[in-house]
Structure formats: C-alpha cells, structure tokens
C-alpha cells in the first residue's frame, strides 16, 4: 500500500489528469489542453524534485511546450 502513496498521490493525480485530457481532446473540448498542462506541471515537479528523474522532468517540459503550441494552433483554426 505504501507504493500507492510514495509520491503523495501526485503521480496518480497527474496520470488521471492526462487521461481526462485525452478524453476531452478526443471530444474536441479545449479544456483538454488545460488538463494536460496541469498534468505536465505536476510531472515536471515530480520528475525534478521527488523522483530525481531528468527524463521525466525534461520530457514533460517538451510535452508542455507541445500542448501550448497545440492550443495556439487550435485557436487559429476556429
């Protein structure tokens, strides 16, 4: 049970927000970008400060930039 709460459930929250974002974007709902951005911010925090994983931190910085770019592109097409 300790494994589930090792990172103060922030990893579960970030994963849940990512799954919600995929669902929202699949339904063409712009709030998916917001959900993904919050999830990315949590993963960046987890990667750098709690997990000491450069891969998770840097990877999610790139994902966050891609989310912002996607949101900007989405707004231009509407």
Sequence length of the chain is 78
Instruction: Tell me the average pLDDT of the chain.
Output: 92
pLDDT in tens, 23-41: 999 999 999 999 999 999 9
Contacts of 53 (CB under 8 A, 6+ apart): 47
Confidence of residue 78 (pLDDT cuts 50, 70, 90): low
Give residue-wise pLDDT tens across range 39-73. Answer: 999 999 999 999 999 999 999 999 999 999 999 99
> Which pLDDT score is estimated for 76?
83
Please state the pTM of the whole predicted model: 0.88
State the chain's maximal CA–CA distance in angstroms.
47
- H or E segment at 46? none
pLDDT band at 4 (very low <50, low <70, confident <90, very high): confident
């Amino acid at each position: 049970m300790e494994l589930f709460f090792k990172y103060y459930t922030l990893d579960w929250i970030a994963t849940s927000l990512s799954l919600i974002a995929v669902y929202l974007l699949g339904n063409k709902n712009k709030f998916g970008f917001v959900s993904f951005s919050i999830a990315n911010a949590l993963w960046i925090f987890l990667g750098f400060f709690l997990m000491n994983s450069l891969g998770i931190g840097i990877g999610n910085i790139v994902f966050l930039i891609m989310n912002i770019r996607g949101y900007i592109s989405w707004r231009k097409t509407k």
